[in-house]
Amino acid sequence: MILNVPYYLQYIKWAIPAAFMFGTAPTYFVVWGGWRVITLLLPTRIYEAGDEFLYSMYQRMVLFFFENCSGVEVSKIKLAKGFSTGSIVNHP
């Protein structure tokens, strides 16, 4: 029975990063909402700069946890004319 635990843990190793993301998403939402309220009377470019910062910070955290904790490789593929797409690969 104890020898089977590592075997079964391989199949749910994605659950820890996913649970962490579900736990941190409300915090980012509250911070974003606060930023939105604070910048209501300021120029749009100030709000957009903070919004981009929060979004990029959250995406970096997502990439860090899914690549380092669950073993999923996330890569960015460049396409023609400046477009890009993301891909998630669960094998080397």
Higher pLDDT, 85 or 18: 18
CA distance 79 to 46: 30
Residue 59 lies in domain: 4-89
Whether the predicted model's global pTM rises above the 0.85 cut? no
Summarised one tens digit per residue, pLDDT across range 17-70 is 777 777 888 888 899 999 999 999 999 999 999 999 998 888 888 777 777 766
| Cβ pair 76, 86 in contact under 8 A | yes
Q: Which two tokens stand for residue 37?
A: 């309220």
Number of domains in the chain: 1
